[in-house]
Amino acid sequence: MIIIAGLLIGVILGLRYARQHGGTGLDLAQYGAVWGIIGTLIGVVLTVGIEKLL
């Protein structure tokens, strides 16, 4: 669940960032994808860390 939340938050932040900087449709897609991947990786690290603690 943390991984999916990280993905969604990453995509939203990426789209917001691209819009603020005047990005076109392809810019929005690229920033959304990259930030989504980053959010997913953070979610994976958090999930593994929580599982190791428990």
Single out the residue of 41, 45, 43, 31 nearest to residue 11, CA to CA: 31
Query: According to the model, what pLDDT value does residue 14 have?
Result: 97
d(CA 30, CA 19): 12
Residue 8 belongs to what H/E stretch?
Answer: helix 2-20
Single out the residue of 18, 11, 13 nearest to residue 36, CA to CA: 11
Domain ranges of the chain: 2-49
CB 9 within 8 A of CB 35: no
pLDDT tens track, the chain, 54 positions: 999 999 999 999 999 999 999 999 999 999 999 999 999 999 999 999 999 999
